[in-house]
Structure 1
Amino acid sequence: MPHTSRPSFGIMTAPMQVDYHDVLRVWREADAIPEIEHAWLFDHLMPIGGDPSGPTYEGWTLLSALAPQTRRLRLGLLVTSNRFRPPAMLAKIATTVDVVSGGRLDFGIGVGSRPDHPLARREYEAHGLPFHDTAHAVGSLAEACTVIRRLWTEDEPFDFEGTYVRLTGAFGNPKPVQRPHPPIMIGGRSAATLRVAAEHADLWNIPGGDIDDGVRRSALLDRYCAEIGRDPASITRSIHLPVSYDQPATTRKAIGEAIDAGFLHIILGLSAPYPADVARWVTDEFITSHGR
């Protein structure tokens, strides 16, 4: 992904408490608006807000369904839980989406849900998935990024013997459309995750909120990059900001603060139900006023 001083804007439609056709409507609308450059889903198996037994769609499956319904938008998950799928399988899933979309995937990945978020924690138990401690989550994320990149780029089968990931005769075919591979976005704010981002990320995403904290985390990422001899400017800074339909001035202020702080990849979170023509409204209300 090119690094420029111009902000790039996208939308995020969390696929919970909503119908597939509502998400499809918003993505099709956004795809026809050049100012919206990317679109995102989340990666949860049960709702993390609203009715706890309401509908939630599986992120990668839905992304693969939306990809051929769009022509231009870059697309991804904000962000994939590395806890849900073995990394070699995830590499195959992501490759499939990159091929289906004609090379438009931005590959978002993170450690997975915080242990202190009960609505997120329950989805692991409900689906028979182990919920390991933080050290395991971060260590396995670093190994997953290594393995996934190798599966995307290497031309010969390989074995991998890590602390958390072990593969024998691993090989990815087909390869992603994008060369050398789809951009890797790592999401999270912990110091341990930032160390992984310094090594592996093309983009780093932080959830919106305290922009001062975001600035401190970004500076920490700079430091970790310097420690391993990487140019910090080679990692695009991304932020997710929830959109307020009722108080757009609040959202506009948050966007301005984020851009001033160096976060030039802006993902605007749209809550359901989605108003009619919401993508056009977002464009007119927020994007055109910030230099697009």
Structure 2
Amino acid sequence: MTGLLTSARGPSFGIMTAPSQVAYQDVLRVWREADRIPQIEHAWLFDHLMPLGGDPNGPTFEGWTLLSALAAQTERLRLGVMVTSNRFRPPAMLAKIAATVDVVSGGRLEFGIGAGSRPDVTQARREYEAHGLPFHDAAHAVESLAEACTIVRRLWTETEPFDFKGDHHRLTGAFCSPKPVQRPHPPIVIGGQATPTLRVVAEHADRWNMPGGSTDVAIARNTKLDQLCAEIGRDPAEITRSIVLSASYDRPDDTRHAIRAALDSGFSHIVLGLGAPYPTKVARWVADTFIAPFADKN
């Protein structure tokens, strides 16, 4: 079995509600509804501090704070941030935050992380300057991500304090308590498509997320990940393939075609991005319109 094959258990479907240009009660309404619909297995937020579209001064909630609130308000959904910017928080602090959310959720966290926004995304770049955060080049960001994955995993699994001396992160007496509920640790989901990031995926990820894009690009990146796994002697089938697709309210056939193409290309973890404002009973509509047609075909 290779990474291009669909999971033996069949595909899993989830939703993403970007916590921007929306009210908390609107996001909560959708997640509570989805929590009652078994076909929707997971739900996600994104990690930006300012809007990427619409009113540039509109509301955007901090992803991990909101995720913890939603974890306390749901019972079944697996949940996460797709994906956390490693540029925003020191990795040891992020490990503590994520462990807390896993405890609050009763062991439902999917730990999403990535290198952070690309330098050419103007709307994203401004949030770093606005919050006093450094914005290093891509090479620095990917190297930092690799160290962060090592640090987070060690904090979640090691029973004694340890020191860490990397090129980008230094820790003395690092320790995380309480540990996450999940053993050995929550699944690590790494998002991105550049080859340097895929090398980090090959080494550290339980799941890889392709952040949208054309089917042809997704297939090419999927194949590249298989090659990188082979280079380090890892079975590519150990890494579930995930993709974010837009859930079109006006052109549902387009979304269904995109889902079919993704499944045929080996992406068995489908995240459907919902645009705001969210229609009434949107989670039920997503399940009936986009998930049900594939339930008996894989």
Superposition pairs of residues 90-169 of structure 1, within 5 angstroms = 90-169=94-173
Alignment partner of 1:195 is 2:190: no
* Letter aligned with residue 227 of structure 1: E
Task: Provide the rounded CA distance (Å) in 1 between the counterparts of 2:211 and 2:101.
Answer: 24
CA displacement, residues 112-160 of structure 1 (integer Å, 9 cap, x when unaligned): 0010000000000000000001111000000000000000000000000
* Letter aligned with residue 267 of structure 1: V
CA displacement, residues 23-81 of structure 1 (integer Å, 9 cap, x when unaligned): 00000000000000000000000000111110000000000000011000000000000
Kindly state the Cα deviation for residue 5 of structure 1 after the two structures are TM-superposed.
Answer: 4.5
Superposition pairs of residues 1-292 of structure 1, within 5 angstroms = 3-291=7-295
Kindly state the Cα deviation for residue 177 of structure 1 after the two structures are TM-superposed.
Answer: 0.1
CA displacement, residues 211-235 of structure 1 (integer Å, 9 cap, x when unaligned): 1110110111001111111100000
Unaligned runs of 5+ in 1: none
CA displacement, residues 192-247 of structure 1 (integer Å, 9 cap, x when unaligned): 00000000000000112211110110111001111111100000000000111001
Task: Provide the rounded CA distance (Å) in 2 between the counterparts of 1:4 and 1:173.
Answer: 35
Task: Provide the rounded CA distance (Å) in 2 between the counterparts of 1:259 and 1:50.
Answer: 32
Q: Is the 8 A contact 1:5 1:264 kept in 2?
A: no
Task: Provide the rounded CA distance (Å) in 1 between the counterparts of 2:187 and 2:248.
Answer: 29
Task: Provide the rounded CA distance (Å) in 1 between the counterparts of 2:160 and 2:149.
Answer: 18
Distance 1:244 1:38, change over 3 A: same
* Letter aligned with residue 266 of structure 1: I
Unaligned runs of 5+ in 2: 1-6
* Letter aligned with residue 274 of structure 1: Y
Task: Provide the rounded CA distance (Å) in 1 between the counterparts of 2:55 and 2:265.
Answer: 35
Paired residue for 2:4?
none
Task: Provide the rounded CA distance (Å) in 1 between the counterparts of 2:232 and 2:8.
Answer: 23
Q: Is the 8 A contact 1:203 1:237 kept in 2?
A: yes
* Letter aligned with residue 37 of structure 1: E
Q: Secondary structure at the match of 1:259?
A: helix
Kindly state the Cα deviation for residue 4 of structure 1 after the two structures are TM-superposed.
Answer: 2.9
- Aligned residues with identical type, % of pairs: 74
Q: Secondary structure at the match of 1:106?
A: strand
Q: Is the 8 A contact 1:36 1:73 kept in 2?
A: yes
CA-atom RMSD, angstroms? 1.0
Q: Normalising by the residue count of structure 1, what TM-score does the alignment of the two structures yield?
A: 0.99
Task: Provide the rounded CA distance (Å) in 2 between the counterparts of 1:291 and 1:9.
Answer: 10
* Letter aligned with residue 73 of structure 1: L
- Greater than 3 Å deviation, 4+ residue runs: none
* Letter aligned with residue 84 of structure 1: F
Task: Provide the rounded CA distance (Å) in 2 between the counterparts of 1:5 and 1:261.
Answer: 16
Q: Is the 8 A contact 1:186 1:205 kept in 2?
A: yes
Task: Provide the rounded CA distance (Å) in 2 between the counterparts of 1:88 and 1:56.
Answer: 24
CA displacement, residues 149-194 of structure 1 (integer Å, 9 cap, x when unaligned): 0000000000000000100000111100000000000000000000
Task: Provide the rounded CA distance (Å) in 2 between the counterparts of 1:247 and 1:188.
Answer: 27
**Larger RCO (alpha carbons 8 Å, 6+ apart):** 2
The size of the alignment, in residue pairs, is 291
